[in-house]
Amino acid sequence: MKIALAQLNYHIGNFEANTKKIIETIQAAKQKGADLVVFAELAICGYPPRDFLEFDDFISLCDQAAHEIAAHCVGIACIVGLPIKNDIPQGKDLFNAAYFIEDGKIKSTVKKALLPTYDVFDEYRYFEPATDFKCINFRGKKIALTICEDLWNINDNPLYVSNPMDELIKEQPDMMINIAASPFSYTHDDERIQVLGDNAKKYNLPVFYVNQVGAQTEIIFDGGSLVFDADGAMKAEMKYFEEDLQVFDLEEILNVRNKYPKMERLTDIEQIHDALVLGIKDYFGKSGFKQAVLGLSGGIDSAVVCALACSALGAENVMAVLMPSQYSSDHSVQDALDLANNIGCKHEIIAIKDVAEQFDHILAPAFKGLPFDLAEENIQARIRGIINMAMSNKFGYILLNTSNKSECAVGYGTLYGDMCGAIGVIGDVYKTQVFELARFINKEREIIPVNTIVKPPSAELRPDQKDSDSLPEYDVLDTILYQHIEKKQGSKAIIAQGFDEALVRRILKMVNIAEFKRYQTPPILRVSPKAFGMGRRMPIVGKYMA
């Protein structure tokens, strides 16, 4: 038996495009000699559909698409994920399910049992968990088909009280097939390989795993579909951040148990880079947008975002707006110009000194002679936000936000100023990682000026300002933030690692009191195990300080 894994990029709610892509892939798999082609979790509607699932018409369109797909499954079978109705009144109205289709008909239905409701997942909001488990018979073989999380309850701290495979193994299946929508983080590929290999070893069965690829707003799927033999040895690893279709011979997987040559792993920064480029590309492509605008300050954050956007959209589709103030240094303006010239994007220079002075003039009576402070600094940032949005409105550009995770964490940014935008490109990338990204972008030639990378970071909103005037050095700050955000460590645990107590408490207080700002920021492309946004939900007015 030959099994094709179809790793595709779906578009949530775009039934026409998804169905067409699935049907074309069925035909391609058939031409490659496949007997069975396997698609991802909720492939027909795209993942995660969220509250689209509450519309009856949405579910009906899924069903119509499934029957259209079934008509093309002649001479080849397929497995495809979709939401289906729960006919029993008790419980949720839907199941997260998969159809097994053969000879033009839906022959079997498998329902997901373990419904993740943590981090970016919210499946129990919509779906009823399965309680019945049966293998699928196909061409003399028994398939234990599971959906994503159903294979993840295999560690020292299980989230669920049961395992679907513990029931399916009683029917003595010949293989496991798992269809998934497994979001990217730069640590997740290694975890995925470990979990799937452990399943293969535990049940002594080969595993065929297919993941989707592509970005859905802030969530990015990296692909990386996998095949393991019954010893838990990885036999195949499909492309990352790209669509892919590969065919595997079951008999070879069952009987030729040799170690798969380990492919070279991407570094964390390489993964983050590729994920962000894909995230920008799909955000624009799936939304029908073509051109981006961003403020280019001469600093490293905007330089990295500009370079990523040009990779994703083409330099001709990126507008960089330089908005120097009276506090902008000559070298910052030159650094921004050098980047625009190096990369070939469009640019405009719109000075804000006169506008800022007009604000000073009209606010002088109300400010009653009080000294220059944060108010005047934020006015400059908001002037820049207005200019960026004016360019967006006038020319149809979509504004990219350039705030990094370190700034987002401690509230080092101006609401309605540098924190505005349609999508946060590096809001899940710590400042120290931004420097690594810049060096990676420059690996073949200088795109980001060296001076941008080596100079001390500054918002340049007052004379001789540096980020270190308000924040700890970024290598220290980011280490503490990582322990608190990704590792969920409170102040006592972090202090016990040797960090200064006053510094730790100051940083964690900044994180907590900045929550109201993060509620008003754009969606942030998720690349870490714990990103701001839907994956980290904190109360704004809570008193608890970790």
Residue 466 contacts by C-beta under 8 Å, 6 or more apart in sequence?
Answer: 456, 457, 458
Q: Which residues contact 442 (CB under 8 A, 6 or more apart)?
A: 448, 450, 453
Taking the CA atoms of 488, 491, 493 and 496 in sequence, report the sign of the dihedral they define: positive
Backbone angle region of 411, left / alpha / beta, with phi > 0 → left and psi within -120 to 50 → alpha: left
| Binding-site residue positions | 118, 182, 295-302, 378, 402, 407, 517
Q: What domains appear along the chain, each with residue ranges and CATH number? A: 2-265 (3.60.110.10), 271-467 (3.40.50.620)
The 10s digit of each residue's pLDDT in 327-357 is: 877 788 999 999 999 999 999 999 999 999 9
Contacts of 425 (CB under 8 A, 6+ apart): 276, 279, 280, 305, 308, 309, 400, 401, 402, 525
CA distance 246 to 254: 17
Residues 6+ apart with CB under 8 A from 44: 15, 18, 19, 22, 62, 65, 66, 69, 80, 81, 82
List the binding residues for deamido-NAD(+).
378, 407, 517
What tokens were used for 449?
């000026």
Q: Is 148 a catalytic residue?
A: yes
Digit-coded pLDDT (tens) for 449-495: 999 999 887 767 677 777 777 789 999 999 999 999 999 999 999 99
Residue 467's pLDDT is 75
Task: Give the whole-angstrom CA distance, residue 546 versus residue 539.
Answer: 13
Q: What is the DSSP letter of 395?
A: H
Alpha helices in 32-163 (DSSP H): 56-70
pLDDT of 127: 98
What does pTM read for this prediction?
0.95
The answer to whether 112 is a known catalytic residue is yes
Active-site residue (options: 41, 123, 218, 460)? 41
| Residues 6 or more apart whose Cβ sits within 8 Å of residue 448 | 300, 303, 304, 307, 339, 342, 438, 441, 442
Whole-angstrom distance, CA of residue 151 vs CA of residue 200: 10
- Which residue of the set 45, 148, 345, 408 is catalytic? 148
pLDDT at 260: 57
Query: Which residues of the chain fall below pLDDT 70?
Result: 257-263, 459, 461, 546
The set of long-range contacts for 539-543, using a CB threshold of 8 Å and a minimum separation of 24, is: 539/515, 540/515, 540/516, 542/512
Which listed residue (21, 30, 111, 112) is catalytic?
112
